[in-house]
């Protein structure tokens, strides 16, 4: 259905072909796909750095990396994963899907959209170029705390290039976020009321609000660090009346909301996948939206839980502790919604569903870890140990990355008309699941045994060797799972037949009502939208069921 070509106005008629059609495009679908390709390449780049880091830590005195290399690699691993992969990959999915899901032709500002895309490889060039200059890349961890990052301790230009790269990515993010918000608010198809928008769209809305309001604060504080290093200002220099804690305040004011920027899109993805593969509507549609919004708002109040050990005043400490724990509540609500969706459903464990279920279990562990560290006395002991590294990875790898793969397997047929191979997908899932637990579960133990994070080597005999080796084996298992994905991706793209059709999974949302891949202008004719599951409604009608889907909320 709905594939007929449309005569386009003359000024749009000039067509590029081949590579140029991609480089010069302002089509949200092409831009979305390029976002995904770039960010997944960065995911693998960050992954290689992680494997090198794990190799160095596999044994005491492993001697694989020098200390300088180690510091650069773990710093660039995290920076790449956070700023070049997890944050922009969400924008990539949103670019491809958001206009389709709300029945729009494109994004509100297509050219700004193209700019947001191309700033990403530019930023990557800036950041990675630092490996080839004297002094190497940034090396103080992705949090770049002064005084370690002042001109005395980090004299190389790597830190400056890092600042520049992150600034460029910030501009890209804010441009994207404003674009998503304006598109959602002004370009919805008739009948697509706010209360009928897919949860994925809602989560992108919350994410975009966070990006719009938090990212500029990072831009400000990065500039202060830059001028401290290059112009002689003294914002973070106590000798001149500055204070390094100021960096932490402003950095975490951004970076705590940023962790939700990193996970809310993945939550949106699994909120689409779980109902489809449970053959039930999402349990508590409105509750999921309100919980998402609550997480967004609360997310702005708790940044100081990263700073308990700096000696905050008692009222601030206690406030932050309770506010942080209270974020567990909306997060728990969502958990119940997802489980309730699966409850009693006829579940089909296809690859997208496996990854979505993997998200639920792994994210749960990460959330529990988080609440532990939010307990101030506990945090005093666990702060800056491997416990925190474990928490980070259960939420970001177990959460975001599993959600992202759920999305890739779910929408690949829409983007290409072909399925990814199901067997290889399952193999990848199990390798990833086993690998991540082998890698990150032992880090709990290492943390409790007092192993600090961000050390290049450790002495034998502290009881850390065994679990470090296990973690490294786990990391390489994840590496293997990624090789399976790469093989699957290229094989399916090349050899799989175009069998997906418009609606391979019997989906709920508008994108499943047009061809795969969708025509250039998305919708020739707009489908009727009477609920938050227009594709389901239409299928029911086709199959002769009288009446519409019951409203549930």
Nearer to another protein by Cβ, of 38 and 235: the residue is 235
Q: Which of 207, 258, 263 is nearest to 402 (CA)?
A: 263
| Distance in angstroms (rounded) separating the CA atoms of residues 204 and 186 | 15
- The DSSP symbol for 515 reads -
Stretch that binds ligand HEM, among 113-121, 203-211, 383-391, 463-471 (CB under 6 A): 383-391
Report d(CA 477, CA 432) in Å as an integer: 7
Residue 524 binds which entry of another protein, ligand HEM, Cu ion, none, CB below 5-8 Å type-dependent? another protein
How many C-beta atoms lie closer than 10 Å to residue 403's C-beta? 30
What is the C-alpha to C-alpha distance for residues 526 and 112, in angstroms, rounded to an integer? 26
φ and ψ at residue 385, rounded to 5 degrees: -110, 180
> Does 334 contact ligand HEM by CB under 6 A?
no
Distance (Å) of CA 516 to CA 23, 58, 223, 417, 501 = 22, 46, 45, 5, 6
Does residue 291 touch ligand HEM according to CB under 6 A? no
362 to 381: interface string for ligand HEM, x by CB under 6 A? -----x--xx-xx----x--
CB nearer to Cu ion: give 256 or 393. 256
Closest-approach residue to ligand HEM (CB): 370
Residues whose CB is less than 8 angstroms from the CB of residue 42 and which lie 6 or more positions away in sequence, other chains included: 80, 81, 84, 85, 124
256 near Cu ion, judged by CB under 5 A: yes
Q: How far is the CB of 243 from another protein (least distance, A)?
A: 6
Is residue 306 at the binding interface for ligand HEM, with CB under 6 A as the rule? yes
Question: How far, in Å, CA of 82 to CA of 104, rounded?
Answer: 30
Nearer to another protein, 176 or 435 (CB): 176
**Cβ-based nearer residue to another protein, 31 or 270:** 31
User: Is 399 a binder of ligand HEM (CB under 6 A)?
Assistant: yes
Residue 367 binds which of Cu ion, another protein, ligand HEM, none (CB < 5-8 A, kind-dependent): ligand HEM
Minimum distance between the CB of residue 252 and Cu ion, rounded to whole angstroms? 7
Task: Classify residue 384 by its DSSP letter.
Answer: T
Using the minimum distance from each CB to another protein, give the nearer residue, 233 or 317.
233
Q: Which does 388 bind (CB under 5 to 8 A by kind): ligand HEM, another protein, Cu ion, none?
A: ligand HEM
* Residue 324 phi, psi dihedral angles, 5° rounding: -65, -45
Q: Which is nearer to ligand HEM, 425 or 447 (CB)?
A: 447
Using the rule CB under 5 A, give the single segment among 137-145, 253-261, 337-345, 405-413 that binds Cu ion.
253-261
Minimum distance from CB of 133 to ligand HEM (Å)?
25
Interaction site with another protein (CB under 8 A) = 1, 6, 9, 103-105, 108-109, 174, 177-179, 181-182, 185-192, 212-217, 219-221, 223-224, 227-228, 231-235, 240-243, 246, 249-250, 253, 513, 521-528, 538, 541-542
User: Both ends of the chain: CA-CA distance in Å?
Assistant: 30
Q: Residues with Cβ < 8 Å from 243, sequence gap 6 or more?
A: 235, 236
Partner whose binding site includes residue 371, from another protein, Cu ion, ligand HEM, none (CB under 5 to 8 Å by kind): ligand HEM
- Closer to another protein by CB, 506 or 524: give it: 524
Q: How far is the CB of 363 from ligand HEM (least distance, A)?
A: 7
Residue 118's SS3 state is helix
Distance, CA of 370 to CA of 357 (rounded, Å): 20
Does position 196 bind Cu ion by CB under 5 A?
A: no
Nearer to ligand HEM, 150 or 373 (CB): 373
Report the nearest approach of Cu ion to the CB of residue 301 (Å). Answer: 11
CB of 319 to ligand HEM, least distance (A): 13
**Torsion sign across C-alpha atoms 71, 73, 75, 76:** positive
Nearest approach, Cβ of residue 95 and ligand HEM (Å) = 21
For Cu ion, which is the closer residue by CB, 44 or 145? Answer: 145
Interhelix angle 386-395/422-448, rounded to 10 degrees, is 160
Instruction: Supply the minimum distance, in Å, between the C-beta of residue 362 and another protein.
Output: 32
Distances (CA, A) of 546 to 539, 540, 542, 543: 11, 8, 10, 9
Cβ atoms within 10 A of the Cβ of 7, count?
A: 6
Work out the angle at residue 146's Cα, subtended by the Cα atoms of residues 140 and 148, and round it to the nearest 5 degrees.
50
Nearest-approach distance from CB 143 to ligand HEM, in angstroms: 5
Q: In whole angstroms, what is the distance from residue 234 CA to residue 228 CA?
A: 5
**379 contacts which partner out of another protein, Cu ion, ligand HEM, none, CB within 5 to 8 A by kind?**
ligand HEM
* CB nearer to ligand HEM: pick between 20 and 455: 455
The CA distances from residue 197 to 200, 347, 539, in Å, are: 8, 24, 18
Q: 328: how many CB neighbours lie within 10 A of its CB?
A: 16
The overall longest dimension of the chain from CA atoms, in Å, is: 78
Q: How far is the CB of 443 from ligand HEM (least distance, A)?
A: 13
| CB-based contact 514:2 (threshold 8 Å) | yes
> To the nearest whole angstrom, how small is the minimum distance from the Cβ of residue 211 to another protein?
8
Counting contacts by CB under 6 A, is residue 305 touching ligand HEM? yes
From the list Cu ion, ligand HEM, another protein, none, partner contacted by residue 399 (C-beta under 5 to 8 A by kind): ligand HEM
Q: Which is nearer to another protein, 6 or 491 (CB)?
A: 6
Supply angle C-alpha 170, 162, 87, rounded to 5. Answer: 40
Q: Report the residue number whose CB is nearest to Cu ion.
A: 256
Three-state DSSP state, 422: helix
- Rounded CA gap, 137 and 159, in Å? 6
333 lies in the site for ligand HEM, by CB under 6 A: no
Q: Among residue numbers 107 through 146, which ones bind ligand HEM (CB under 6 A)?
A: 143
Count the Cβ atoms, other than its own, within 10 Å of residue 370: 21
List of residues contacting ligand HEM (CB under 6 A)? 143, 259, 262-263, 305-306, 324, 327-328, 331, 367, 370-371, 373-374, 379, 382-383, 388, 391-392, 395-396, 399-400
């Amino acid at each position: 259905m709905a594939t007929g070509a449309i005569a386009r106005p003359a000024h749009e008629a000039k067509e590029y072909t081949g590579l140029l059609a991609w480089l010069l495009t302002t089509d949200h679908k092409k831009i979305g796909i390029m976002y995904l390709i770039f960010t997944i390449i960065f995911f693998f780049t960050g992954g290689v750095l992680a494997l090198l880091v794990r190799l160095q830590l596999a044994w005491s005195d492993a001697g694989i990396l020098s200390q300088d290399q180690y510091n650069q690699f773990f710093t660039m691993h995290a920076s790449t994963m956070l700023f070049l992969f997890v944050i922009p990959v969400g924008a990539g999915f949103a670019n491809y899907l958001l206009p389709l899901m709300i029945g729009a032709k494109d994004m509100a500002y297509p050219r700004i959209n193209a700019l947001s895309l191309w700033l990403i490889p530019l930023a990557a060039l800036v950041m990675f170029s630092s490996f080839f200059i004297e002094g190497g890349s940034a090396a103080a961890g992705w949090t770049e705390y002064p005084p370690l990052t002042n001109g005395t301790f980090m004299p190389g230009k790597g830190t400056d290039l890092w600042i520049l790269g992150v600034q460029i990515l910030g501009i890209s993010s804010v441009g994207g976020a404003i674009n998503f918000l304006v598109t959602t608010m002004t370009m919805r198809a008739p009948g697509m009321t706010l209360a009928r928008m897919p949860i994925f769209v809602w989560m992108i809305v919350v994410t975009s609000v966070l990006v719009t309001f938090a990212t500029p604060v990072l831009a400000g504080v990065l500039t202060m660090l830059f001028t401290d290093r290059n112009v002689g200002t003294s914002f973070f220099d106590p000798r001149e009346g500055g204070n390094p804690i100021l960096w932490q305040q402003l950095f975490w004011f951004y970076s705590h909301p940023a962790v939700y920027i990193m996970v809310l899109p993945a939550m949106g993805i699994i909120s689409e996948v779980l109902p489809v593969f449970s053959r039930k509507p999402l349990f508590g549609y409105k509750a999921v939206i309100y919980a998402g919004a609550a997480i967004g708002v609360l997310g702005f109040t708790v940044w100081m839980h990263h700073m308990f050990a700096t000696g905050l005043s008692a009222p601030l400490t206690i406030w932050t502790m309770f506010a942080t724990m209270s974020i567990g509540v909306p997060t728990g609500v969502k958990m119940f919604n997802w489980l309730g969706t699966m409850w009693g459903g006829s579940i089909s464990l296809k690859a997208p569903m496996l990854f979505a279920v993997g998200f639920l279990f792994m994210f749960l562990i990460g959330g529990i870890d988080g609440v532990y560290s939010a307990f101030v006395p506990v945090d005093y002991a666990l702060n800056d140990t491997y416990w925190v590294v474990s928490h980070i990875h259960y939420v970001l790898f177990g959460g975001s990355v599993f959600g992202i793969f759920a999305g890739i397997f779910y929408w690949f047929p829409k983007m290409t008309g072909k399925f990814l191979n199901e067997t290889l997908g399952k193999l990848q899932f199990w390798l990833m699941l086993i690998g991540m637990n082998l890698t990150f579960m032992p880090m709990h133990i290492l943390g409790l045994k007092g192993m600090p994070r961000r050390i290049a080597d450790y002495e034998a005999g502290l009881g850390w060797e065994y679990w470090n080796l296990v973690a490294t084996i786990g990391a390489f298992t994840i590496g293997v799972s990624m090789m399976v994905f790469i093989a699957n991706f290229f094989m399916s793209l090349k050899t799989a037949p175009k069998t997906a059709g418009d609606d391979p999974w019997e989906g709920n949302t508008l994108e499943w009502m047009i061809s795969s891949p969708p025509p250039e202008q998305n919708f020739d004719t707009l489908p009727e939208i009477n609920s938050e599951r227009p594709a389901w409604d239409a299928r029911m009608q086709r199959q002769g069921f009288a009446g519409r889907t019951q409203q549930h909320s």
